[in-house]
Structure 1
């Protein structure tokens, strides 16, 4: 028998059988119930407190946003709104009966087209177009007449005189193309877009006249001993000066008709790209770089400016590609019924920079491959492929740097270093042996970075020369970057 006062309680053991426990251990279940209720009430109170604080913060943020929007766009027929209301205290409860108040205000993301940058960039456009006329006439007449002089049969000393006269014509043609646009741009201080027209036409006409002579002179000299004069027809040469190719041929594949609605659509798209490019420069570049030269130089500020310029830079690259290589060239090809429209390939899928350089601009690549690479190999006796390729990069880098120098009005060899040094190394390291999507991502990453470097450094130099003009123009002052020392 158990002693009196000892009570047993049944509980389950491991085997599922009830087992007994002395009641002296206390009834824990009866003690846990009040604790659980108290803990639940405490958690409910904490939850309510957190919700009230979150609601107070949300109302405060909304009030501040509405006040800042009204401050940024005040109505013209009403006084300015009252100062920013004090934030709600913890004990003050927000009112849930707010009503919508309508005021005169603009959208935060409203698109405002400002044409100041566009008007400045295309300033003195009539002068640039007038300058183009003698450039075109010199290209139209001088190379063709020189070829006709060389094509005449040899007859004593008369042929030597004609050969010298042909060389004089070509020298005059080169002088007009090389000197006239530079003289007009410097003397009249043409803005960037007007300079763009002159320098692009200068380079284009030089490349076209060289291709015409390079393709026509060998056949002309071989046929010189025959009866009469053999030379390409003037109409074929005139057609070549306008058709979208830099390789001269007597005939090209032609389409049966002209789709004038397609021509108008391409010109409209090219104009839209120009407007969009001005909008990007005005909204994403000018506010950042206009006053950058007035702040002390730091590596952190430079890196941040490069990162900020990557997006505008890649936008500008894509706009130039679409506006010129697609819209502009297709419009002229359609008007002239030029059949071969492969002005570019799928460069965006490139996994190597060597393929990117071949497919980005097929028109220029064909000229470099035919007259620099292949002729270089011929001069080297079929050997030295690497040297011929370096010659292609050298010619391309120098011409690109010349274009930037002509358009911007100063020498800052960013493009020369990126194209010749970095681009040449990437061409040999990221070659066609590399395939796969990872290499395509790497190529795009490097394109973003390269465009950011170009836009950032050229914009800094432009505004540095604007804020810190030279008291006296010197040769070394023109060559030394102003952004390195300007802190206006």
Structure 2
């Protein structure tokens, strides 16, 4: 009897290990497919673009046959012929594959992203005349898949064990000092203070961005046919005024009520999120009122392998699909768009929010143990030398890197997955495997896919209108400038002082490092080393300035004091010098 029990346990353990190995192989193979897709996109798109441009030039340069036929073909005729040629190229490319290869490709790439990369040119324009953006498919977050493997889950358990040790150390110190178990969480309570005002400010932003923006877009789309120029000018000006108010009013209330640190970060982050959502919603729906009759692709939703995916039905040259598009989307679509991120699994939601709470306590213990004791005396009578500054930077590297990982896991994984589960949003690719990046260019693309997709769609592609190399570099630098300025804006209003360390590191050194293109795995070591050292420098310098603002007298009065770093003029530094 015991023999059969042990044999059953061994078989179950074997099947569990086999399933984990299969999952790891599937993730690795999917990464290989993504790399192959990128390589094919670069090669095939350049070849097809060249061929299609040559074809269009040939059609436009048709020789004159007779005196009566002396006009060039109309642009509609040219567009139809180019569409026919594109369709024939795609059809010939797909039909040239063998049935076995097509079947294998379908099994390996069920989302058909690789098939689309091999059969179509990415220069085929969408409604804006530019390459289309991200294709949404049903998929879990990468860490959700990786944590199903026991080897990866052990790393998660290590971080939980470190949290337990930090909690135990805090309790032990309280017992030794006070003789009772009284967990000191005053810093957490202070950081999230005045939360009722945070809710009021958030509700104001939500109502204005939902009801106000939708009402304005609805009126503009229905009044535009009567007088396009006047209506466009009036509503365009009103929209710009609204965006300026959205950026000014929450920040002014934040300063007026003197909200603490975490509450300020919540207001500022939600302010930027509402701004991005509003801009994306209005920008994506302008074409409904400008071109209400759209001939081309139709988006239909269907069930595929049990998942909701968006399949695009192409209009063939023989059968054009004519769609009457409403001038303005429904309000329910706009309201859902503000929150998105198949029934709701409340157990998963509870686990995700618990992980967010755990990351908050993790950050609290790291600051209490490694940050506050080092810098709280800065600006007092005790001198602070340059050697101490260097030692402080390296001592902050461990804590700062853990804070960075906690912020990533809490916001980009747990928080977004919780709201994605509650809103039943199935595409949860909020990030990619940035930890495996071998270049800073790939790190920037995979660290935060939500922000990256927005910047790519509404900044980079809007500015990158042609194939000029200088235009491409200008668009790229504009993206980095906007991103770094917004990050520094959040830090400046949250800390109540302007200290552009992040702006210099992200918008300066980060841009230079992005142009280093390599696939060598050794560069991943350099990437991690620079990330850890950079976060240590950020934590050290911002902590010094934070305590200098509390311990050192101001050098200048008024607004200038907010712009000049007070830590540079503290008596502790001058005494050390």
TM-score (structure 1 length as normaliser):
0.71
Distance 2:462 2:430 in 1: 23
Residues 221/178 of structure 1: CA separation in 2 closer, same or farther (3 Å cut)? same
Moved more, 471-480 or 218-227: 218-227
Alignment of 1:53-132 (within 5 A): 113-132=183-202
**Post-superposition offset of 1:229:** 5.7
Show the counterpart of 1:88.
none
Quote the offset at 1:320 in angstroms: 0.4
Flag structure 1 segments of 5+ consecutive residues without an equivalent: 1-72, 75-104, 245-255
- Output the CA distance in 1 between the equivalents of 2:466 and 2:182: 57
Alignment of 1:219-298 (within 5 A): 219-223=288-292, 230-244=327-341, 256-294=342-380, 295-298=382-385
Partner Cα distance (1:369, 1:462) in 2: 34
Q: Where in structure 2 are the equivalents of 1:453-468 lying within 5 Å? A: 453-468=537-552
Deviation at residue 418 of structure 1 after TM alignment: 0.5
Task: Work out whether 1:328 is the aligned partner of 2:415.
Answer: yes
Show CA shifts across 1:76-119 (max 9, x none).
Answer: xxxxxxxxxxxxxxxxxxxxxxxxxxxxx859xx9974211101
Q: Distance in 2 between matches of 1:374 and 1:336?
A: 29
Deviation at 1:382, TM superposition (A): 7.6
Taking the aligned partners of 2:368 and 2:325, their CA distance within structure 1 comes to 61
Deviation at 1:120, TM superposition (A): 1.0
Given that 2:379 and 2:548 are in contact with CA atoms closer than 8 Å, whether structure 1 keeps it comes out as yes
Measured after TM superposition, the shift of residue 130 of structure 1 is 0.7
Q: Secondary structure at the match of 2:464?
A: helix
Contact kept in structure 1, 2:220 and 2:232, CA below 8 Å: yes
Residue pairs, 1:328-477, within 5 angstroms: 328-378=415-465, 384-429=471-516, 431=517, 433-436=518-521, 438-470=522-554, 473-477=557-561
CA distance in 2, matches of 1:372, 1:143: 21
Q: Which has the larger radius of gyration?
A: 1
State whether residues 192 and 407 of structure 1, in contact with CA within 8 Å, keep that contact through their aligned partners in structure 2. Answer: yes
Instruction: Indicate the residue corresponding to 1:47 in structure 2.
Output: none
Mark the runs of 5 or more structure 2 residues left unpaired by the alignment: 1-171, 295-322, 573-577
CA shift, 1:125, in A, is 1.1
Indicate the residue corresponding to 1:167 in structure 2: 236
1:201 to 270, 290, 305: 270
**Could you tell me how far 1:155 is from its partner in structure 2?**
5.4
Give the distance between the partners of 1:417 and 1:175, measured in 2 at CA.
26
1:166 positional shift: 2.4
| TM-score normalized by the length of structure 2 | 0.60
- 2:403 is aligned with 1:306: no
SS at match of 1:293: coil
Task: Give 1:476 shift.
Answer: 2.1
Q: Give the distance between the partners of 2:326 and 2:441, measured in 1 at CA.
A: 44
Map of 2:127 onto structure 1: none
- What's 1:136 paired with? 206
Kindly provide the CA deviation profile for residues 35-74 of structure 1, in whole angstroms up to 9, marking residues without a partner as x.
xxxxxxxxxxxxxxxxxxxxxxxxxxxxxxxxxxxxxx99
- 1:342, CA displacement in angstroms? 0.7
User: How much does 1:134 deviate?
Assistant: 1.1
Tell me the distance in 1 between the aligned counterparts of 2:211 and 2:238: 9
Aligned-partner Cα distance in 1 for 2:256–2:467: 43
What is the alpha-carbon distance in structure 1 between the residues aligned to residue 458 and residue 254 of structure 2? 29
For 2:182 and 2:431, the matched residues in 1 are separated by: 34
Task: Name 1:485's counterpart in structure 2.
Answer: 569
Q: Distance in 2 between matches of 1:329 and 1:367?
A: 16
Structure 1 position 475, deviation (Å): 2.5
Mean Cα deviation higher: 449-458 or 147-156: 147-156
Question: Tell me, what secondary structure is at the counterpart of 2:432?
Answer: coil
Aligned-residue offset at 1:305: 1.0
Aligned-pair distance for 1:451? Answer: 0.3
Whole-angstrom CA distance in 2 between matches of 1:116 and 1:191: 13
Structure with the larger helix share: 2
Q: Which stretch of structure 1 is more off in the superposition, 222-231 or 361-370?
A: 222-231
Count of matched residue pairs? 369
Match for residue 31 of structure 1? none
Cα 1:112–1:281, aligned 2, differ >3 Å: closer, same or farther? Answer: farther
